[in-house]
């Protein structure tokens, strides 16, 4: 059973970990050139939440079913699942579309030589950044639930 716990913990770190790096990649005061580089890196990091997050949910359910953690209605368990879903909603529903809009602008041929982001793109960047703070905060609470469970 320890191998299942190990896989669960490592996949959870892989699944949520890149969210914590998002703040570095989606800094507000970036030049268009810096933002192009950051968005390329963010695209590469997208792989980890897809695989790690999915594996964390599967192994988490297996741990509950195969061990004596009690019923599925416990606050730490329901809270963990709700937080995981909310993180996905924030990242997929708010951060990803903002990053897509930014990418359309920064990778447009007409904007390759621009030295500053226009107001509209700064506004989108600020929204993505604030949503990453929301997702990271929920991720921290999720890890607390996992560590302090009964």
Q: Quick check: 150 pLDDT over 70?
A: no
pLDDT in tens, 34-93: 999 999 998 888 888 888 888 988 998 898 888 877 776 778 888 888 898 899 889 889
Domain ranges of the chain: 2-148
- Rg from Cα positions in the chain: 18
pLDDT in tens, 92-129: 899 999 999 999 999 999 999 999 999 999 999 999 99
State pTM to two decimals: 0.84
Give me the chain's average pLDDT, please: 88
């Amino acid at each position: 059973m320890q191998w299942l716990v190990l896989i669960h913990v490592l996949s959870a770190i892989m699944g949520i970990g890149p969210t914590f790096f998002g703040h570095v990649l989606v800094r507000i005061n970036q030049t268009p050139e810096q933002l192009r580089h950051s968005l390329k890196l963010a695209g590469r990091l997208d792989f980890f939440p897809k695989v790690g997050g999915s594996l964390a949910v599967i192994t988490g359910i297996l741990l509950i079913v195969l061990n004596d953690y009690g019923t599925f209605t416990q606050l730490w368990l329901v809270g963990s699942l709700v937080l995981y879903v909310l993180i996905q909603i924030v990242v997929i529903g708010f951060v990803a579309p903002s990053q897509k809009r930014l990418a359309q602008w920064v990778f447009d041929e007409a904007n390759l030589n621009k030295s500053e982001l226009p107001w509209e793109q700064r506004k989108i960047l600020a929204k993505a950044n604030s949503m990453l703070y929301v997702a990271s905060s929920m991720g921290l609470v999720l890890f607390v639930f996992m560590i302090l469970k009964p």
